[in-house]
Chain A
Amino acid sequence: MSISLSLIYLVSTIAFIIGLKKLGHPATAKNGNLIAASGMGLAIAGTIFIHDLRVPTTIYILIGLAILIGSVIGGWMAIKVKMTKMPELVSLFNGFGGASAALIGLVEFSKDGGDKMITTTIVSGIIIGAITFSGSMIAWGKLNGSIKSVIKIPYHNSVNNLFLAGIVAFAFFMVTAGASNEVLVFALLAAGLIYGILFVLPIGGADMPVVISLLNSLTGIAAAITGVLLSNMVMLIGGILVGSAGIILTIAMCKGMNRTLAAVIFGTFGATDSVPGANKTLGTIKKTNPSDSAIMLNYATNVIIVPGYGLAVAQAQHVIHELEELLTKKGVNVTYAIHPVAGRMPGHMNVLLAESNVDYSLLLEMDDINPQFKNTDVVLVVGANDVVNPAAHNDPSSPIYGMPILDVENAKHIIVNKRTMNAGYAGIENELFYNDKTVMLFGDAKAALTKLVSELKNM
């Protein structure tokens, strides 16, 4: 490798580290993204142009064409995607990265001279790449609703673990036997793909963000393995950075949901048919209408809005901002309470509200806002359910018991906007709705809030 290319890779690697660091702070995140992207552009350009290989023009044209196609499609998808669809897009892109690593492994395998360490890196790259690809595709399908039901495989943990052990044994055999048979490597690829499907299918939809983060981390590891294989530092360090950062992020997400990683992977959260206490009679609910709700909000001093995924689905993030501005103009203190897993991914709700120009200093995180509920006159819960379910505090038999929630029940009055009385993502009843202080404002979030806003304007 020429010195100039080594220098370019060095600069790219530093750009990755600084970029990732800056991505972790709100004020510098935008720059961080630009720095990391520039590092990537530099590494790619350097790889194409600086080498002493004699490469025919046709191959250059092919590479250029591939880059053009990938950039246009990727850029187009990134521009077109709705912010509510962000989690599945990340999953899709992640799957592509994994597939790329697996394909590289396949080509390298065909050139492999039988060195055991090289074969080891190749087969592990293929397996991990294949698992991330098929796993990400299933996660994508689950999030966008094309794979609706939780597919249950009997004894799925044992089946999966046996299957994984089988793959490892098979790979070990290929390495030690020095097998260079193309059929075997395709069988290994297929096994990796099947395992990815088996791994993600039984995991409940509520845990999908954690799975995506985990798969993201795995893609990083696949990239790093490919870097070892090709003795390429920028791939090695870039991949490992993503791998270890991804694991930390995965654990942070698990903490937000009060789940352990093991419980996500081996548990059956969101996959249960019948939930204890589901048929318990919880009392009666009180319905309200937009004009009564408007009166309550108008005469309140402190209002907290709790947005959930229902708000995002109804595309009501702009109306809620209008409501907040209107109330603020009328002298009401309005803040937003953001649960760590509101939306479909941690931080997803912040992105959605930021999209409609909500000042991010009004978005308060759970630990900061929980003590404030007791001094709050009205809490407006829009399309959120499990994250405000008191069962997490007081029902040990509940599947969400122990999950940190927003202590909405401490407020003086609670307005809950929901489309129907259907249970939330975890599929359990919410006694908050039956609380004496709670009134239910049924209807699509956007329609209901629009009416609420027009009622308020007339006051």
Chain B
Amino acid sequence: MNGLLEFIGTNIEMIYILILAVFLGVEVIKHIPAVLHTPLMSGANALSGVVVVGAILVMLNADPDNYFALTLGFIAVVLGILNVVGGFAVTGRMLKMFKKKS
């Protein structure tokens, strides 16, 4: 229990940010026309690929002879980048089709 309180005490800023980000996410997404649900889901999916930043950090911090960390980190970077590049590209492809004819 003390550990938990201590954690909250030292990370209070992060907890504030976390809570504000939750509300921000809700506000940003509210009242979206159904037309955009699919592209939006796809775009949000691409954003969750931000986890690739963590995968890169794992590789940067790994000892050159720590093959376990390097192998897993390598796979994590490949998968994360796949999510990012594929996600944004496919969202862009979808959105390119939404054009109003003059």
Contacts and interface: CB of A to CB of B under 8 A. Distances in A.
Contact of A359 (B7, B28, B88, B100): B100
B25 to A, nearest CB: 3
Given A74-B85, A360-B99, 7 more contacts: A23-B91, A37-B92, A77-B86, A235-B53, A238-B48, A240-B18, A240-B21
Interface of A: 16-17, 19-21, 23-26, 29-30, 32-34, 36-37, 40, 43-44, 47-48, 51, 53, 55-56, 58-59, 62-63, 65-67, 69-71, 73-75, 77-79, 81, 83, 86-87, 89-90, 93-94, 96-97, 99-101, 103-104, 106-108, 110-111, 116-117, 212-213, 216, 219-220, 222-224, 226-249, 252-253, 256, 338, 340, 345-348, 350-351, 354-355, 357, 359-361, 363, 365
A110 B86 contact: no
Nearest to A34: B92
Interface in B52-96: 52-62, 64, 68-70, 72-96
Nearest to A367: B34
B47 A345 contact: no
B38 A351 contact: yes
A348 B38 contact: yes
A237 B46 CA distance: 14
Contacts of A78: 85-87, 89-90, 93
B37 A74 contact: no
B56 A116 contact: no
B41 interface: yes
Contact of A110 (B17, B69, B74, B83): B69
Contacts of B72: 103-104, 106-107
B85 A104 contact: no
Q: Which 6 A-B pairs have the closest CB atoms?
A: A70-B81, A244-B25, A74-B86, A78-B89, A346-B37, A354-B97
A360 B57 contact: no
Contact of B50 (A29, A63, A238): A238
A301 to B, nearest CB: 23
A53 B60 contact: yes
Nearest to A222: B51
Contacts of A25: 36
Contacts of B39: 23, 29, 33, 347, 351
| Most B C-beta atoms less than 10 A away, residue of A241, A252, A256, A360 | A241
B85 A347 contact: no
Contacts of A70: 77-82, 84-85
Q: Which one of B48, B79, B94 has the highest number of Cβ atoms from chain A below 10 Å of its Cβ? A: B48
Contacts of A67: 77, 81
B25 A236 contact: no
Contacts of A99: 75-76, 79
A97 B55 contact: no
